[in-house]
Structure 1
């Protein structure tokens, strides 16, 4: 029987070689091999091509019957891995995978995101956190606290789909008691019980970080140019210069290190036009949003790799490479990451956890759909202001100018003031048209920037929820076994993942309220100022007629 898969989500093809799939549609696969996050097959309409592996679930054969496999064919492959391409305000309400990983779309050459020869003389490739070479396993030491979860002896089955997010994140190995590592006190991540449930322990010394206007620099005697951003953290007050590729490297490390934390997405990459003023300004705004979300996250803001990024001197290349290699050899990734989480003393009610997570899943889906709609509406409104409104106001202004020119042919002394007032009215309307064209930069663009970063967060949470759901499934399976001690151990580890998931959900909500409140206040203040400016211009024209 042919290998088949069931579509979990809608996917709309945007490039040659891809095919669209519809949720619950059954597809025929050419092969089970996932290449850079993509599978190849035929949909129910007979179209053949590529589609994201994360959007389907393989249907496996068992005695001649199709049965649903465990987990998806691939990890939810969104921009939690290296993202590229500009987020379009006209996008459809579906999540698209990273096209930079598409075999038909190789990484662009000559962009400011390329790895240069001096980036590191011994580059380290990103490894699968679920499979670690024995040489990288930590050794025992009396100077550091060694944490090893007791191995479960229950016959809880493994997930047969090794591409599942639950497996690749290390969540399955942790729940089954296979994690062991050295956890220093400084590496511990505490979850405390707040008024609204589990939450991350607050950062004892919060800080901010400014990003200055980037400067264009050259290397190799002017043969290569790049943009350098100046970062100044408030807790050091020392300026460091970072390129976009440094941000990109940091992002990859953080995604690997924190599987149940929503790492904010970086602004888009671009191979051409990257030195144009509009693109530089847009990227800087995106990086400011990114840095704000990083610096205010209780966990991300404290991690060693982020602090290294913020504090390592730009001129100390040796120190930078040492910190880079240390981060890439971090053993507290995958299953071992969960060893660092210290939950509240009282365990959670897993049934209540499941209910909260399901409710959040519904919330994020609705929020994502509505953000897409708001994005389209605002973008269209901005386009009308910059083109249509400006054009119409200019037409009205020119009409008043034509009347003024006609009046000037009168040659009457007593009509001079009226002629001037009419000409000024025409000029006022043309100026108002220019006001409309410029206004989206002041109020609508910042709202679009806010929506963009939250679209990134919303596309992260399916991965995070999948890890928690996988842990909960294992806990339920263990309760059916006869080994009560093993079931208790699995339940405790599931509780750790659940605490972390709810803490991240709580942080998302708090940040969301903060950001949308501040941004909507800014938007309305800008709107008020805008119409006050228009009113002032019209009043100025009105007063011209008092002297006519």
Structure 2
């Protein structure tokens, strides 16, 4: 019923009720003339309930649809599925749980859906895994040229399956990764698909950028294939296995064709145990999940900041060790580490060192010669230790720092799933609560379809639970393994430096004869004045604040409309 008409009727009812009561009060002095048998108790004055006005407005004007047409519940087609079901459904009544759903082709003959398009939810809600997990690596990037599209970067993608060991390698460019992301979003609208890294327009052939992009694509593709549903999706198999360019071009339009009903096409093939949704538990689950992922996101954000400081401290240790090493060279050679020798002016070493290179004023001093060689060995070992710390900060710790992006922003990633869950739960409550004075009609089919959506969203929550444990376990192991490997190498160098001071000295460590100048002495003055290059930082995550200006237009509009409607 239109809102003005509803307001008019409510006002008319109140006016009649008030007028009736006033008339009764006006004639109350004539009660004595009314026979006793005709005196009836007056009903209490009541106001018509208006608490369900929004529901009635949505039900009557919008056919039960949401006011926010940019919400994930709407754009994924979930609302269409909840209200109307699948267009090709032949059965009626409750969901066929764990029973094959038959569909009809245009000719009317029933046919079974593809196995890759049937999804099962187990108890407690979690996606059933049909095939074992496998891994993918992205490697061997190379620059290619095309007369049509110009220069681009090609990546090798190798899929490695469990025993019997099988490897499949294909070659893909960034635009093909974009295709895979778009196709998955259309065919699996009910799952959380991680975002691709932003498209780069400048400096995209820089070596550091190409390596960072390769790592980002490998982590993204690894996140796709470890999802229990996306792992066996037909488009993923096509992406990882099609090696023929002609076959790729032939089948590509079919995957790119937008499904007119992405939500119904997905949810109509979701099967789950019957009557396993409790509304109170579903609400409590989404509240706890949303609070948890928010805390994880804030914690990982701070962890990435602190880890960057840890990398910088490793680089600072490298600089300090190098400075200490150069100062040792300066000490035993009696030459300032911060100044270069003046050309054409010979430098006198009389009284500073012997002709054999011993750090002593005596003409011949074997004891000081041995000590000088040992100090030189120590300075050389400190140089290698400094290089180990620098490489650790720039390579090993950078890889760990990059991996932290994989666990970042779970709140933003799962926001669409949470929104779908809350909207489906709202419809579920509307169609399962007791009949009230508003006279709302209940639809058991809508309630059953809401139950299917809630099973899917809670299965996604469980998928995050599993993946979060895997991510942080791997993160901790990689960091500890890297630190152990670093300190084991540092320890071996320090032991070599320590053995140079043994008595008698090991001839393999301290060779006999005069002291030979170290390679580091030649570059001592130049290295002391060289500023190290800054540490390479991980490329920003799509949801990072410094990449907010690069958000896709559709997402920016959807967020703005969501703020407008309070969702």
Give the TM-score normalised by structure 2. Answer: 0.64
Q: Does 1:252 align with 2:179?
A: no
Instruction: Give the match for residue 125 of structure 2.
Output: 198
Match of 2:171 among 228, 233, 241: 241
Match of 1:390 among 313, 318, 324: 318
Instruction: Give the match for residue 229 of structure 1.
Output: 155
Instruction: Give the match for residue 67 of structure 2.
Output: 160
In structure 1, the gaps of 5 or more residues are 1-68, 71-151
Deviation, structure 1 residue 522: 2.1
SS at match of 1:408: coil
SS at match of 1:242: strand
Larger Rg computed on CA atoms: 2
Q: Contact 1:166–1:466 (CA<8 Å) still a contact in 2? A: yes
Identify if the C-alpha distance between structure 1 residues 345 and 528 changes in structure 2 by more than 3 Å, giving closer, same or farther. Answer: same
Equivalent-residue separation in structure 1 for 2:198 and 2:310 (angstroms) = 23
Deviation, structure 1 residue 219: 1.8
Equivalent-residue separation in structure 2 for 1:234 and 1:451 (angstroms) = 24
Q: Contact 2:400–2:475 (CA<8 Å) still a contact in 1? A: yes
Identify if the C-alpha distance between structure 1 residues 284 and 491 changes in structure 2 by more than 3 Å, giving closer, same or farther. Answer: same
Q: CA RMSD in A?
A: 2.9
In structure 2, the gaps of 5 or more residues are 1-53, 89-102, 104-111, 335-351, 355-359, 511-567
Deviation, structure 1 residue 153: 11
Instruction: Give the match for residue 461 of structure 2.
Output: 505
SS at match of 2:155: strand
Deviation, structure 1 residue 331: 4.7
SS at match of 1:225: strand
Q: Does 1:334 align with 2:287?
A: no
SS at match of 1:412: coil
Q: Contact 2:116–2:232 (CA<8 Å) still a contact in 1? A: no
* C-alpha distance after superposition, 1:401-460 (max 9, x if no partner): 122113635243311111111122222222222211111345422332222122254421
Identify if the C-alpha distance between structure 1 residues 328 and 156 changes in structure 2 by more than 3 Å, giving closer, same or farther. Answer: closer
Match of 1:412 among 353, 360, 364: 364
Equivalent-residue separation in structure 2 for 1:358 and 1:290 (angstroms) = 28
Match of 2:254 among 305, 319, 325: 325
Equivalent-residue separation in structure 1 for 2:189 and 2:255 (angstroms) = 19
Q: Which aligned pairs between 1:161-176 and structure 2 lie closer than 5 A?
A: 161-176=68-83
Identify if the C-alpha distance between structure 1 residues 511 and 265 changes in structure 2 by more than 3 Å, giving closer, same or farther. Answer: same
Instruction: Give the match for residue 555 of structure 2.
Output: none
> Which of structures 1 and 2 has the larger relative contact order (alpha carbons within 8 angstroms, sep 6+)?
2
Identify if the C-alpha distance between structure 1 residues 481 and 255 changes in structure 2 by more than 3 Å, giving closer, same or farther. Answer: farther
Identify if the C-alpha distance between structure 1 residues 442 and 202 changes in structure 2 by more than 3 Å, giving closer, same or farther. Answer: same
Q: Does 1:219 align with 2:172?
A: no
Equivalent-residue separation in structure 2 for 1:532 and 1:379 (angstroms) = 23
Equivalent-residue separation in structure 1 for 2:261 and 2:154 (angstroms) = 31
Select the structure that is richer in strand.
1
Residue correspondences, number: 395
Give the TM-score normalised by structure 1. Answer: 0.66
Equivalent-residue separation in structure 1 for 2:410 and 2:212 (angstroms) = 19
Instruction: Give the match for residue 300 of structure 1.
Output: 230
* C-alpha distance after superposition, 1:224-281 (max 9, x if no partner): 2211111233456332111011001211222233232111222343222222222222
Equivalent-residue separation in structure 1 for 2:68 and 2:258 (angstroms) = 26
* C-alpha distance after superposition, 1:304-336 (max 9, x if no partner): 1111111222x4335434233344244551343
Equivalent-residue separation in structure 2 for 1:485 and 1:159 (angstroms) = 17
Q: Contact 2:125–2:455 (CA<8 Å) still a contact in 1? A: yes
Identify if the C-alpha distance between structure 1 residues 489 and 521 changes in structure 2 by more than 3 Å, giving closer, same or farther. Answer: same
Equivalent-residue separation in structure 2 for 1:280 and 1:213 (angstroms) = 10
Q: Contact 2:271–2:452 (CA<8 Å) still a contact in 1? A: yes
Equivalent-residue separation in structure 2 for 1:434 and 1:262 (angstroms) = 42
Deviation, structure 1 residue 488: 2.3
